[in-house]
Amino acid sequence: MAFSGGCQCGAVRYRIDGDIGNPHICHCRMCQKASGNYFMPLGWVQRESFTLTRGAPSWFRSSDMVRRGFCQACGTPLFFEPVNSEGINVTLGSLDEPEMAKPTLQSGQGSRLSFFHNLSELPDEAQEVSADWLTAVARKTYQHPDHDTAEWPPKDE
C-alpha cells in the first residue's frame, strides 16, 4: 500500500510505501498544543517506508523524547518523531486520503476534554451558508491539492 501527503501550502510533501500502523487519536496536552486542536490523529510508519518528496520540515523538540515536524511556510503539523526511533508518526489529517487511515484507538485520555464525547450531538451548520462560503473560497485557493504535483505553486501565480 502507498500513501502520500503534505502540508497545506505544498512546500513539504511525503510518501509512504507500506502500511500505517497504530492509527490513533491522541488527547494529551502536548498534542493539543502542537495541533491547536482538541486532539491529534497520528499513525506510525517505519523509517524505511517513509520518504520526503518535496521540501524539508522544520522541527520543534517538544520534550527530551520527541520532536515534531511542521511546515515552516504554512505551519501545518506533519510529524511526531520519537528521538532515536525506527519510525515516525505522521499526522493523519496531512494524508492526501485521510479516510484511508481510520483511527483504531485513543491515547492520552487523561487530557481528553470533558465535552469530547458529545461533539457529534452539536447541530450542523446551515448547509446554504456553508455551501456559499465554500464555493467562494474555492474560486481562488492557495491550498495544495490532495495529490502530488510536479511543482507548486503553479507557474501562473
Residues 6+ apart with CB under 8 A from 50: 14, 15, 16, 87, 88, 90
- pLDDT value of position 152: 78
Strands 105-107 vs 21-26: parallel, antiparallel or unpaired? parallel
d(CA 127, CA 29): 33
What does the pLDDT look like over 11-63, one tens digit per residue?
999 999 999 999 999 999 999 999 999 999 999 999 999 999 999 999 999 99
The CATH code belonging to domain 2-138 is 2.170.150.70
Rounded Cα distance between 14 and 7, Å, is: 9
Percent of the chain exceeding pLDDT 90 equals 73
pLDDT of residue 156: 66
Spell out the domain ranges in the chain: 2-138
Band of the pLDDT at 128, cuts 50, 70, 90? confident
Q: Can you give the pTM of this predicted structure?
A: 0.86
| 3-state secondary structure labels for all residues of 23-35 | EEEECCHHHHHHH
Compute the average pLDDT of residues 125-129: 73
Sign for the CA dihedral angle at 106, 19, 77, 64 comes to positive
Residue 91 has pLDDT above 80, yes or no: yes
- CA atoms within 13 A of residue 104's CA, in its CB half-sphere: 8
